[in-house]
Amino acid sequence: MVAAGSKTEGPGGRLLLVGCGKMGAALLNGWIDGGYDPAEIRVVEPQESAPQLVHSQPVPLFVADAGALDEGFDPAVVVFAVKPQIMDEAAPLYRAYAKLGAVFLSIAAGKTIGFFEGALGKGAAIVRSMPNTPAAIGRGITVACANKNVRPGQRVLCDQLLQTVGEVAWVKDEGMLDAVPAVSGSGPAYVFLLAEALAEAGLEAGLPEELAAQLARATVTGAGELLNRSSETPAVLRQNVTSPGGTTQAALDVLMAGDGLGPLMARAVAAATERSRQLAG
């Protein structure tokens, strides 16, 4: 990662971001905060809506389409962050950069490496990645997979770019990416639902609505931070909270029953994984 306060065009060259919605903006903010020089970044925003970028530093040049990019701007990395629905139209516009040696980094759900090889050419260097929404606060996790054309230095560069918004893990088998969005991609929604359900249960137990919501929010976020800071496993942390015969044990007897949270979560992740496979074709 680039040292804070320094300005550079990046370890491997210039950056081109295609799409600046919420996730694209999170990446862009991470790059700039990480020390990448905004002057060496270009952003193409093909959607009519205004870019989501909010940043205190000077922002890169935004253009409406690929044809408006300044001549001679040859990026080392082209990052695809547009919605999957418009990727069929957007991706082929950047085919020329494959011949110039750029690596293509996609964060689009459901678009496979095979799709990008068809759109950009069989020789294109492609990294398919799956980030999640906590990237917006630099606490995301991304799982990435590279095709055979990606050189070691290109993989390092993509890893550095993704690390600006959180943790990064790599897999060799692209098929594993079907399960990733079911766990980490959709996972924040499961946690938010837990907070909703916990607040609703508190309300039903007789707590005022505002207090129940406050307790649920603080409990979920506090427990998450405790898990983040601890070297213990979730199981050990759970056991540390649980006194035999106490209130927590009474609740866990329900949640850990044969039809409790474990089997329910397994079915939820399986459903999301199957849907991910369907979207990937």
The answer for 122, left when phi > 0, alpha when psi is -120 to 50, beta otherwise, is alpha
- Are 158 and 104 in contact by the 8 Å Cβ rule? The answer is no
Q: Which of 16-20, 206-210, 236-240 has the lowest mean pLDDT?
A: 16-20
Please, is 207 exposed, middle or buried when counting C-beta atoms within 10 Å of its C-beta (0-12, 13-18, 19+)?
Answer: middle
CA distance 2 to 197: 41
- Name 103's bridge partners: 77, 125
HEC profile for 21-83?
Answer: CHHHHHHHHHHHHCCECHHHEEEECCCCCCCCCCCCCCCCEEECCHHHCCCCCCCCEEEECCC
Which phi and psi (to 5°) does residue 42 adopt?
-125, 150
The answer for 35, left when phi > 0, alpha when psi is -120 to 50, beta otherwise, is left
Please report which helix (H) or strand (E) contains residue 245, including its range.
Answer: none
Say what the pLDDT of residue 65 is: 80
Please report which helix (H) or strand (E) contains residue 133, including its range.
Answer: none
Residue 9: which pLDDT band, with cuts at 50, 70 and 90? very low
CA distance 129 to 162: 9
- Name 238's bridge partners: none
**What's the CATH number of domain 15-177, 3.40.1260.10, 3.40.50.720, 3.40.50.300, 3.90.470.10?**
3.40.50.720
Tell me how crowded residue 24 is: count the other CB atoms within 10 A of its CB: 22
- What DSSP designation does 8 have? B
Say what the pLDDT of residue 62 is: 78
Q: What is the mean pLDDT of residues 253-258?
A: 96
- One-letter amino acid at 35 equals G
Q: Which residue has the higher pLDDT, 154 or 1?
A: 154
**Spans of all domains in the chain:** 15-177, 185-280
For residue range 25-52, list pLDDT tens digits in order.
899 989 988 888 888 899 998 765 545 5
Question: At the topology level of CATH, where does 185-280 sit?
Answer: ProC C-terminal domain-like fold (1.10.3730)
Report field, pTM of the whole predicted structure over 0.85: yes
